[in-house]
């Protein structure tokens, strides 16, 4: 598959915006490492993305991704989960614009996207809602199902069973609204996972749902490898369509601006032309008047000359 070169991408960034450039760069990156499936997390800061990825790796935060209450992860950070899977821990969204761009860049390099949400905060807020819309972009329903999954973290602090069920139902409704399809949905607790490990409680470890999520991701990645060639082609085609549409919109916009400018310039010069025509008309009239006066004076002069002649002849 021949893809856009760096100059084309720079041009696109200039004309239709940096999201397009980032998407094209991401696709190039993915196509250069074909046998590895990349899974990236995404979500608000402090939703538990890094802690979850540490749990999947079975490492502590000292050993791998840094965890913290304030915005912590600043740059996309890669790690091998096994020989075929690479995971990317990304910065939280809405921390600041630069972090959002960095998160978006990491996501566009990923095959599978794990949207992470802290269920303790209730339903998705406006920022998460818009973010999911932005990253699903032009993906079709089938592609969304194959490439995205949703994870509610902090399930240990989500309230009673009824309260949790209510929140889950509301979030699923929002997801359907955003993505127009259902995606796989997980409720997990990284905290329970680490407590279980520490106290060696197998039941609690299972209740955290972290091991099951890991199994699921391994299986999803294997499935992805089988269909990846086709999916990546689809992704490129969708992006081509989207890019073409944006370039056409941009062209139409520029054309409208040019014709509006031309109209304004014509109006301005028409006004000037009319003014000069008026002035010229005035001068023509004036010339006529002067001409007539001159003629009259000459006629009068002739009469006077004849009178002089007559006088002389007497
Ligand atoms: N109770 C509870 N706390 C959690 C859970 N997951 C994460 N936390 C806590 O949430 C806080 C933020 O966790 P992080 O993993 O650093 O969150 P993040 O999403 O990576 O944050 P940024 O890197 O800033 O975007 C930490 O204090 C964690 O201990 C969970 O499942 N349950
Ligand atoms: Mg983090």
Task: Locate 22 and state its tokens.
Answer: 């980032």
Show me where the domains of the chain are located: 6-226
Q: Is 21 in the pocket of ligand 1 (CB under 6 A)?
A: no
In the reported structure, the alpha carbon of residue 66 is separated from the centroid of ligand 1 by a whole-number distance in angstroms of: 10
Structure confidence by residue, pLDDT tens digits, 134-181: 888 878 898 899 999 999 999 999 999 999 999 999 999 999 999 999
Residue of 230, 145, 229 lying closest to 179 (CA atoms)? 145
What is the rounded radius of gyration, in angstroms, for the C-alpha atoms of the chain?
A: 37
Q: Is 94 in the pocket of ligand 1 (CB under 6 A)?
A: no
Query: Is pLDDT of 309 > 90?
Result: no
- Residues with Cβ within 8 Å of 56's Cβ and at least 6 positions away in sequence, in order, are 81, 87, 210, 213, 214, 217
Residue of 123, 114, 127 lying closest to 44 (CA atoms)? 127
Q: Is 41 in the pocket of ligand 1 (CB under 6 A)?
A: no
Q: What protein residues have CB closer than 5 angstroms to ion ligand 2?
A: 49-50, 72-73
| pLDDT recorded at residue 234 | 82
Q: Is 42 in the pocket of ligand 1 (CB under 6 A)?
A: no
Question: How many CB atoms lie under 10 A from the CB of residue 210?
Answer: 23
Are 190 and 41 a contacting pair, CB within 8 Å?
A: no
Structure confidence by residue, pLDDT tens digits, 1-13: 567 888 888 888 8
Structure confidence by residue, pLDDT tens digits, 115-139: 999 999 999 999 999 999 988 887 8
Q: What is the mean pLDDT of the chain?
A: 90
Query: Is pLDDT of 90 > 70?
Result: yes
Q: In this structure, which topology does domain 6-226 adopt according to CATH?
A: Rossmann fold (3.40.50)
In the reported structure, the alpha carbon of residue 70 is separated from the centroid of ligand 2 by a whole-number distance in angstroms of: 9
| pLDDT recorded at residue 103 | 82
In the reported structure, the alpha carbon of residue 290 is separated from the centroid of ligand 2 by a whole-number distance in angstroms of: 92
Pairing of strands 37-42, 112-118: parallel
What is the sign of the dihedral through the CA atoms of 174, 178, 182 and 188? negative
Task: Locate 252 and state its tokens.
Answer: 């139409």
What is the sign of the dihedral through the CA atoms of 210, 216, 222 and 223? negative
Structure confidence by residue, pLDDT tens digits, 258-303: 999 999 999 989 999 999 999 999 999 888 888 888 788 777 777 7
Q: Which residues of 31-46 are buried (b: 16+ CB within 10 A; e: fewer)?
A: eeeeeebbbbbbbbbb
Say whether 202 sits in a helix, a strand or coil.
Answer: helix
In the reported structure, the alpha carbon of residue 72 is separated from the centroid of ligand 1 by a whole-number distance in angstroms of: 9
| pLDDT recorded at residue 108 | 86
Structure confidence by residue, pLDDT tens digits, 215-251: 999 999 999 888 877 777 888 888 888 889 999 999 9
Structure confidence by residue, pLDDT tens digits, 41-78: 999 999 999 999 999 999 998 899 999 988 888 888 99
Phi-psi region of 48 (alpha: psi -120 to 50; beta: other; left: phi over 0): left
Q: Is 76 in the pocket of ligand 1 (CB under 6 A)?
A: no
Pocket test for ligand 1, best of 67, 71, 91, 103 (most atoms within 8 A of CB): 67
| pLDDT recorded at residue 2 | 64
Q: Is 154 in the pocket of ligand 1 (CB under 6 A)?
A: yes
Query: Is pLDDT of 95 > 60?
Result: no
Residue of 183, 193, 182, 125 lying closest to 154 (CA atoms)? 193
Task: Locate 19 and state its tokens.
Answer: 């999201």
What's the distance, CA 235 to chain centroid?
A: 16
Q: Is 49 in the pocket of ligand 1 (CB under 6 A)?
A: yes
| pLDDT recorded at residue 306 | 79
Q: State the average pLDDT over residues 22-35.
A: 79
Q: Is 91 in the pocket of ligand 1 (CB under 6 A)?
A: yes
Pocket test for ligand 1, best of 57, 68, 155 (most atoms within 8 A of CB): 68
Ligand 1 atom showing the smallest separation from residue 54 Cα: 15
In the reported structure, the alpha carbon of residue 69 is separated from the centroid of ligand 1 by a whole-number distance in angstroms of: 7
Determine the Cα angle at 248 with ends 128 and 1, to 5°.
Answer: 75
Q: Is 26 in the pocket of ligand 1 (CB under 6 A)?
A: no
- Residues with Cβ within 8 Å of 156's Cβ and at least 6 positions away in sequence, in order, are 189, 191, 192
Say whether 96 sits in a helix, a strand or coil.
Answer: coil
| pLDDT recorded at residue 189 | 98
In the reported structure, the alpha carbon of residue 53 is separated from the centroid of ligand 2 by a whole-number distance in angstroms of: 9
């Amino acid at each position: 598959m021949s893809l856009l070169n760096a100059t084309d991408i720079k041009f696109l960034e200039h004309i239709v915006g940096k999201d397009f450039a980032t998407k094209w760069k991401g696709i190039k990156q993915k196509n250069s490492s074909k046998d590895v499936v990349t899974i990236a997390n995404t979500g608000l800061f402090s939703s538990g993305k890094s802690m979850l990825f540490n749990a999947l790796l079975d490492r502590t935060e000292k050993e791998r991704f840094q965890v913290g209450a304030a915005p912590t992860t600043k740059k996309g950070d890669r790690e091998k989960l096994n020989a075929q899977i690479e995971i990317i821990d990304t910065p939280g969204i809405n921390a600041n614009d630069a972090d959002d761009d960095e998160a978006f860049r990491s996501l566009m390099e990923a095959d599978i996207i794990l949207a992470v949400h802290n269920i303790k905060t209730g339903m998705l807020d406006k920022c998460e809602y818009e973010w999911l819309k932005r990253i699903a972009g032009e993906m079709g329903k089938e592609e969304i199902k194959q490439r995205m999954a949703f994870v509610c973290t902090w399930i240990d602090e989500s309230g009673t069973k009824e309260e949790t069920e209510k929140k889950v139902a509301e979030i699923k409704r929002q997801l359907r609204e955003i993505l127009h399809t259902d995606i796989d949905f997980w409720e997990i607790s990284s905290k329970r996972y680490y407590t279980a490990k520490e106290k060696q409680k197998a039941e609690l470890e299972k209740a955290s749902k972290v091991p099951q999520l890991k199994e699921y991701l391994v299986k999803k990645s294997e499935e992805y490898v089988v269909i990846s060639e086709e999916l990546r082609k689809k992704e490129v085609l969708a992006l081509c369509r989207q890019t073409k549409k944006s370039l056409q919109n941009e062209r139409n916009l520029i054309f409208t601006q040019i014709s509006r400018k031309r109209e304004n310039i014509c109006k301005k010069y028409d006004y000037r032309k009319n003014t000069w025509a008026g002035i010229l008309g005035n001068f023509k009239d004036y010339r006529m008047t002067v001409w007539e006066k001159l003629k009259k004076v000459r006629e009068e002069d002739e009469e006077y000359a004849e009178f002089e002649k007559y006088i002389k002849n007497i």
